[in-house]
Amino acid sequence: MIFALAACAILLTMALTLSRGILGPTTYDRILAVNSFGTKTVLIIAVLGFMTGRPDFLDIAFVYALINFVGTIAVLKFFEYGDLGGARSPDEYES
């Protein structure tokens, strides 16, 4: 019961976040929305796992948290430097 309520709250928030991702005037707003959406996804996987009595879902939640972080950083790196290659300093890119 309580898990269903929490799941509803998280789903509502996901809808709000998604609408910001669709509306978002700048690209950064969209990335922010996607990152926030991923966080909510991790939460809802955990809550749904408890709701259906299968806590094994937590492994999936953990993997999703990892992918969410790495994905956000990868997209941002692409925006900042234009490619996903090695660890160069920003100055080298500008020249």
Partner 1 sequence: MQLLIDILSWITILTGSFFVITGGIGILRLPDFFTRLHAVSMPDTLGIGLIILGLVLQAGFTQTSAKLIMIFLFMIFTGPAATHALAKTALHGKLKPKAMYKQDEESST
Separation of alpha carbons 2 and 51, rounded Å: 9
- The type of residue at 66 is L
Separation of alpha carbons 12 and 16, rounded Å: 6
Binding residue for partner 1, selected from 22, 41, 52, 58, defined by CB under 8 A:
58
Q: Is there binding between residue 60 and partner 1 (CB under 8 A)?
A: no
Lookup result for tokens 């922010």: 32
Which stretches of the chain bind partner 1, using CB under 8 A? 2-3, 5-6, 9-10, 12-17, 19-20, 26, 28-29, 31-33, 35-36, 39-40, 42-43, 46-47, 50, 55, 58-59, 61-62, 65-66, 69, 72-73, 76, 79-80, 90
